[in-house]
Structure 1
Amino acid sequence: MKAVLGDIVIAEAAQDDLIKIEGNWYFPPQSVKSEYLVESATPYTCPWKGECQYFSVKSGDTVLQDRAWSYPTPYPTSFERVGKDYSSYVAFWKEVQVTE
């Protein structure tokens, strides 16, 4: 599967390596091209996953605020609900299309 912004592939991995949580595909950290992500200061803590790290997605001069996110150190209790450790996996929103 791929996470794509326009014609730029931001992440790519086999579907078996991704994790689907609440309708969003989370890519393994090693499959994400970090040069397209900029850490955001936007705070958020999920009641069951823990503290979230947002990223803005950049493509040339375009920066899309908070279009990717990750849980670097999720609550250990969430692993049972998700089915595996998803620490630092990255999900995408809106303009970043996830396709097969």
Structure 2
Amino acid sequence: MPKAKWNGKVLAESDQTVIVEGNHYFPPESLHREFLRPSTLTSVCPWKGTASYHDIVVDGKVNAAAAWSYLKPKEAASEITDHVAFWKGVVVEH
């Protein structure tokens, strides 16, 4: 089962991830939201839409904008609505 881990903590765990462009998008119910803090950063993907980012905070350490999600993706990416993906040192184990 895929697990997203950073700084010794499991951030998300699910066997229902959606893989898009090599990234595991974790469903909302699989997230340990106590480690996620909203960021003001956004970016735009031509086919997915606007991504919103989250900082990851574990034991006082911050990994800025290391998680992202599409709250209202374009139709082509509707399967990842509200799912969260990770980068910047977050390891996804299988």
Give the number of equivalent residue pairs: 93
Q: Which residues of structure 2 form unaligned runs of 5+?
A: none
CA distance in 2, matches of 1:77, 1:7: 35
- Answering whether residue 71 of structure 2 is matched by residue 68 of structure 1, we say no
CA distance in 2, matches of 1:19, 1:66: 20
TM-score (norm 2): 0.93
1:89 maps to 2:90:
no
Structure with a larger share of its residues in strand: 2
Structure 1, unaligned runs of 5 or more:
80-84
Residues of 2 paired with 1:49 and 1:26: CA distance? Answer: 13
Written as runs of structure 1 = structure 2, the 5 A alignment for 1:1-100 is 1-14=2-15, 17-79=16-78, 85-100=79-94
Measured against aligned partners, the alpha-carbon deviations of 1:6-62 in whole angstroms (never above 9, x if no partner) come to 320010011xx1111111111001101111001110121111101111001000110
Tell me which amino acid in the other structure corresponds to 1:4: K
Q: Give 1 or 2 for the bigger CA radius of gyration.
A: 1
Q: Cα RMSD (Å) of the superposition?
A: 1.0
Query: Aligned residues: percent identity?
Result: 38
Find runs of 4+ consecutive structure 1 residues off by over 2 angstroms: none
Distance 2:91 2:32 in 1: 15
TM-score, length of structure 1 as denominator length: 0.87
